[in-house]
């Protein structure tokens, strides 16, 4: 009878080699620009600095409702 071992015991690779680079960087703010909203109460990070004014305007419109 063959014993069932957990997947972690079958593969002796580290998590870093299994996980793709893009998944490992989820939640990272590297290469992103901070946008301060609501007088410093809210901070978001965007990848395209040229959209900063548009995002601030949309945020302010939503706050008025």
Model confidence pLDDT, tens digit, residues 11-52: 555 655 666 666 666 777 888 999 999 889 999 999 999 999
Q: How confident is the model at residue 53 (pLDDT cuts 50, 70, 90)?
A: very high
The whole-number pLDDT of residue 34 equals: 93
d(CA 18, CA 8): 11
Residue in the structure block whose two tokens are 């609501």: 38
Say if CB 52 and CB 35 are below 8 A apart. Answer: yes
pTM of the predicted model as reported, rounded to 2 decimal places: 0.55
Task: Locate the DSSP E strands across 1-65.
Answer: 33-37, 42-46
């Amino acid at each position: 009878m063959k014993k069932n071992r957990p997947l972690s015991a079958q593969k002796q690779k580290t998590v870093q080699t299994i996980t793709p680079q893009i998944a490992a960087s989820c939640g990272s703010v590297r290469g992103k620009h901070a946008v301060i909203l609501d007088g410093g109460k809210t901070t978001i990070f965007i990848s395209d600095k040229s959209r900063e004014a548009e995002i601030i305007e949309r945020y302010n419109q939503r706050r008025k409702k």
